[in-house]
Structure 1
Amino acid sequence: MLKRLFPALNWMSDYKKSDLSGDLSAGIIVAVMLIPQGMAYAMLAGLPPVIGLYASTIPLIIYALFGTSRQLAVGPVAMVSLLVLAGVSTLAEPGTEEYISLALLLMLMIGLIQFLMGLFRLGFMVNFLSHAVISAFTSAAAIIIGFSQLKGLLGISIEAENVLLVIWEVINKLTEVHIPTFVIGIGSILLLVGLKKAAPKIPGPLVVVGLSIVVAAAFHMDSHGVRIVGEVPKGLPTFSMPAFNIDSIMALLPIALTISFIGFMESIAMAKAIAVKEKYKVVPNRELVGLGLANVAGSFFSAYPVTGGFSRSAVNYQAGARTPLASIITAVLIILTLLFFTGFFYYLPNAVLAAIIIVAVINLIDVKEPRYLFKIQKTDGWTWVITFIATLAIGIEQGILFGLAFSLVVFIGRSAYPHVAELGYLRKENVFRNIKRYPEADVHPEVLIFRVDSPLYFANMTFLENKLCEAVGERPQTKWIVLDFSGVNTIDAVAIHALEEILKSCGKGEIRFKIAAIKGPVMDLMKKAQWDEKFGDHIKYLSIEQAMADIEGEG
């Protein structure tokens, strides 16, 4: 029981000394990676850089204690940072005390939403966000993130938020580009990309941060107009309560729900991928609890929303992490940084942080996915395109809602027009198959065998009636209808009532019917509707073969 409540007891009680070296090296490497990333992502979220470091301490420890993934690296991520900026900037000016206060409240709300979803086993709800929607949203958001960093990269002020307007504003302000800032930014991007290709094991962001600080300090770049991070508060965050305000809570609720879902989707996808390789199980609802508690705890220590990140989790895993102790080691190292080394970041140019963000999000742009989707299923491809365009043109929150709405419309449309088929008998193979795909299949002149490949509910019964009566109309000699229900997993009360009417109306009582391969849950509902009394043995056939044998016996 205790191990269910505190998953950390599972790995703590069985911890092996042989795992320590891997956890230690992974913890150090991720800390080295997370320090510059955390500061950069905090600035992307419209927050002071130090809040990114705060978000890399307590939340990591809490998740390590309550999460079920052994290698997931929790912390600030680009996507969530952008969503925080998109949601909170409508209520307060980024960087202000009010803005920070709202960000803390948002983190608490996200934590409570995720925790309650996990507690009440509502993790399945994120399944309504299709992969096409997530891929398109992620790609569009990555582009928005990249363009949002142009002001830091070029050293100019940009007021526009829409990507096209940002491009237009940059073109009009090309003469205002601050050359030293631009050189630092482009140089940082080239160095980051070069190190990633030539020496992937070297922590590129830390190298770039270190070199840029040395150069900026040596040449006093801040006196030449290069914007630097400046004073980073020393010490650990103090305990504080987020400011509760019902109006703020209602205003932040849509973005809190969005981040809760998107953050969990990103986290669980990576956690499952690693768990499959390592042959252990992650529990989605327990993951929600772990992430929820991490966000709740972080909101009391001046952090901002966190989730499991793709790139850092991959690095954590590849660096040898065997247990969540690696994440605890990462958090301890960042705590030491906050206590003793924040002064080191004084001369860090903002352009370097912009470069780190741009390089980090480039890999989020997925150009292969839409091609694949169009190749396999065009409606999924259009879902991707519409979500992508809506996110770029309308906005972050609206884009994903638009994509979700469109994907649900597509799903409803598919379920309202299910696949049905008339079956014939293949003697050599001894199976019944769709006569459109197997025209050589034998068809009994007086028996119509009709298969339904979908759950039946009120919205698709009219379609089924039309198709069934159409098939009977083409076969006026039909005396029997055999319904193959092997593909019907569920049925509702309205569908049961409608099916009775269909069976009566198709042949006006002249055609008899049999239903084969009814699944247990469907049969239970039919019995509640007294079908076993109304239709007797006509619904108890385990297979089409049994029904056909009975028809031939009666014939």
Structure 2
Amino acid sequence: MPGLASFKDYRREWFADDIKAGLSVTAVALPVAIAYAQLTGVNPLVGLYSCVLPMLVYALMGTSRQLIVGPDAATCAVVAAVVTPLAGGDSVKHWQLVMTMTAMTGFWCLVASRFKLGILADFLSKPILMGLLNGVALTIIVGQLSKILGFKFDERYLLDRLAAVPNYLSDVHWATLAMSLGAILVYLLVKRFKPSWPATMVVILACTLVSWGGDLTQYGVVLVGEISLDMPGVQVPVFDLGLARELVMPALNLAMVSFVSMMLTARSFAAKNGYDIDPDMEFRALGMANIASALSQGFAVSGADSRTAVNDAAGGKTQLVSLIAALIIGIVAWLFTAPLAFIPQSALGIVLVVASWSLIDLKTLWKLRLRDKRAFLLALTTFVAVLLIGVIPGITLAVLLGLFQFLQVVMRPTDQCLGLDAKGVLRSLDGSDKAKAVPGVFIYRFNSPLTYFNASYFKRRLLERIAAEPVTPECVIIDAVPSFTHADISVMAMLSDLHNLFKRKQIRLILAGRKRQLLTWCEAQGIPTGEGGLLIRSDLYLALKMSQLYRQALAEGQAPPLKRPVELDLVLEHSHL
């Protein structure tokens, strides 16, 4: 529990800032949690439950000092998209499916932490996540139009809903629309004249007071309604096992996206405040927070970027902020649920639209086409997929795109031919006059670890590069450091083929770097090394010196100074030192 260390070394001067930040986070988290419960399709009280215990757990188990966990727009949209079709309109089954998917998400996070998969924080690239979040945000905004305008969508998918909007204009409920416009006006006025105030909290309070004083139900305005404290107890779900199977892969996708999104937020604030975080421990903390949410009848949580930004802006120093916010939210959920019944649904819709609007960054996405067309295509593909085929298939596609992007980099990496500059330093031959090729020597670098699925590509690229040379080289030197990182039978078989091919063409093949490892691997695979076999040198400069010495001896019509390459290695290494 890394959080305990920060509490152990807690400084008294931090307390005032942490209290202020805790109150600020609470003011933002309360209305958002209630709104996200509506988005998920569960009792508004569940939104508060999803804050209390997860915040406490992360405060003890997380390594970020500023990160606030809680309901998140993207995670709630994913849960709703998966659970709603399976529940079939049964509210109890819906709640049980939400709990089950949340617990599964936590389980996947714990598995990933156990196998040290914190590196998955880099798996979904920034462009892919950018396209995903933009698509999810637009999906949420369009979905909330029905609450804001006072009608109900019959269509399920975003584009279908957009196409049907003109047909619903005649069904607009004017009293609900007036309440929505009033909520927007209050939000804009607070942002304009009191930017330090929690605008969403002010909107909810104002709309609740109007609803309570004006009895808006007589005008047909839909309210949250009475919130029952008699929530179904924690129990074994009553639906069949087949439904649970439907949640396994969506829960895995949700764990992946939640973790990547959380790490982007956590890393940015950690860098700003001058400390490091542990990705594997963050995976575990996220898993435990989701399991805690499921056990407290809540839904999936993730790192909340807006509440984390509020925490940092208010000067929060430690995870005591989360403890304070969790305590206040818990008191509200226990003692002050009655006022929540008067909150208009349209006001919650406005809060969700405002929260989702902060996720939209189409301008930056469009700018990618000028900086990196490949990244722009990845982001655009993910964005369009979420809009066309829905949130869950869009997330699955985003994960696959991340995997394909990684495989493409590893399977088809860049490569270079190397030469010497005027100072005798090895450099890439890039068409400029900075470096020139060494006569009779071809130096090749493959910028990826060699394994079974790119070994044939390595061989093909090397032979193509050599074939493009105006004169067939007498010696080929391969930089072994970036490519020969682990023993692979397919790679060693390919290396043996290359050695035999070059030997027939009277070309000397030399591997430079990782000498001890390569000698061991070659011996294990029966590949001859040394005189008459594959030559392995300690580094590129030594390999180049030896090849030049060998070439000089041949040019003078003499045998090499030392017949045994091992002795020559020792002599040159000594002179090199």
Indicate the TM-score class for this superposition, using the shorter chain for normalisation. over 0.9
Taking the aligned partners of 1:362 and 1:52, their CA distance within structure 2 comes to 20
Picking from 76, 81, 98, the partner of 1:86 is 81
SS at structure 2 position matched to 1:149 = helix
2:306 is matched with which residue: 311, 315, 318? 311
Tell me the distance in 2 between the aligned counterparts of 1:380 and 1:215: 48
- Kindly indicate whether residue 453 of structure 2 is the aligned counterpart of residue 459 of structure 1: yes
CA distance in structure 2 between the aligned counterparts of 1:418 and 1:448, rounded to whole angstroms = 19
- CA separation of 1:500 and 1:77: change in aligned 2, threshold 3 A: same
The equivalent residue for 1:470 is 464
Match of 1:113 in 2: 108
Secondary structure of the structure 2 residue equivalent to 1:550: helix
Structure 2 equivalent of residue 15 of structure 1: 10
Q: CA deviation at 1:121?
A: 2.1
After superposition, give the CA deviation of every residue in 1:376-423 in whole Å (9 maximum; x if it has no partner): 432222111111111110111111212332343343334333322222
Task: Sort the Cα spacing of 1:15 and 1:507 in 2 relative to 1 into closer, same or farther, 3 A.
Answer: same
Q: 1:77-116: CA deviations, max 9, x gaps? A: 1111101101101211457111011111112212222223
Question: Would you say 1:281 and 2:269 are equivalent positions?
Answer: no
Corresponding residue number in structure 1 for 2:344: 349
Alignment of 1:55-134 (within 5 A): 55-93=50-88, 96-134=91-129
- The within-5 A match list for 1:180-219 is 180-219=175-214
* TM-score, normalization by structure 2: 0.89
Distance 2:207 2:198 in 1: 14
User: Per-residue CA shift, 1:484-503, capped at 9, x if unaligned?
Assistant: 33432525321121022123
Alignment partner, residue 488 of structure 1: 483
User: CA offsets, 1:193-245, max 9 Å, x none?
Assistant: 4423442210111111111112122222111010011112359x786235275
Other structure's SS at 1:90 match: helix
Q: 1:406 aligns with which of 401, 406, 409?
A: 401
Cα deviation, residue 325, structure 1: 1.6
Select the structure of larger CA radius of gyration: 2
Q: Is the 1:217–1:347 Cα contact (8 Å) retained in structure 2? A: yes
User: Could you tell me whether the CA contact under 8 Å between 1:239 and 1:301 is conserved in 2?
Assistant: no
Aligned equivalent of 1:447: 441
Task: Provide the rounded CA distance (Å) in 2 between the counterparts of 1:499 and 1:311.
Answer: 53
Which SS does the other structure have where 2:297 is aligned? Answer: coil
- Given the alignment, which residue of 325, 331, 346 partners 2:320? 325
Say whether the 8 Å CA contact 2:106–2:291 is kept in structure 1.
Answer: yes
Q: 1:527 to 1:312 in 2, by over 3 A?
A: farther
What residue is the counterpart of 1:3 in the other structure? Answer: none
Report the Cα offset of residue 507 of structure 1.
5.8
| CA distance in 2 between partners of 1:553 and 1:361 (Å) | 68
Is the Cα–Cα contact under 8 Å of residues 499 and 534 in structure 2 kept in the other structure? no
What SS class does the counterpart of residue 258 from structure 1 fall into? helix
SS in 2 for 1:91: helix
Report 1:499-514 matches (<5 A): 499-506=495-502, 508-514=504-510
Over the matched positions of the two proteins, sequence identity in percent amounts to 28
Post-superposition shift, 1:464? Answer: 2.8
* Correspondence for 1:240: 234
AA of the residue aligned to 2:410: S
The CA deviation at 1:149 is 0.3
Aligned pairs (5 A) from 1:144-163: 144-163=139-158
Tell me what 2:570 maps to: none
Q: Give yes or no for contact 1:30–1:316 (8 Å, CA) kept in 2.
A: yes
Aligned residue among 220, 223, 234 for 1:225: 220
- CA drift of 1:510 comes to 1.1
Q: Structure 1 pair 506/187, CA: closer, same or farther in 2 (3 Å)?
A: farther
C-alpha contact 1:489 1:521 (8 A) present in aligned 2:
no
Q: Against the structure 1 CA distance between its residues 449 and 290, is the aligned structure 2 distance closer, same or farther, given a 3 Å change threshold?
A: closer
Q: Deviations over 1:290-338 (max 9, x none)?
A: 2222221222222111122000011112212222121111111112112
Contact residue 477 and residue 512 of structure 2 kept, 8 A: yes
Equivalent residue for 1:415, pick from 400, 410, 416: 410
Bigger shift: 189-198 or 165-174? 189-198
For residues 374-389 of structure 1, the aligned pairs below 5 Å read 374-389=369-384
What is the one-letter code of the residue matched to 1:47?
A: V
Asked if the contact 1:48/1:95 (under 8 Å) is kept, the reply is: no
CA RMSD, 1 decimal: 2.4
For 1:161-172, list aligned pairs within 5 A.
161-172=156-167
One-letter amino acid of the counterpart of residue 167, structure 2: N
- SS of the equivalent of 1:455 reads coil
Return the match for 2:134 from 139, 147, 168: 139
Give yes or no for the alignment of 1:542 onto 2:550.
Answer: no
Mean Cα displacement is larger for which, 396-405 or 89-98?
89-98
Structure 2 SS opposite 1:182: helix
CA apart distance, 1:42: 0.5
The 3 A distance-change label for structure 1 pair 388 and 440 is same
Tell me, in whole angstroms, the C-alpha distance in 1 between the residues paired with 2:463 and 2:103. 57
Aligned position for 1:551: 547
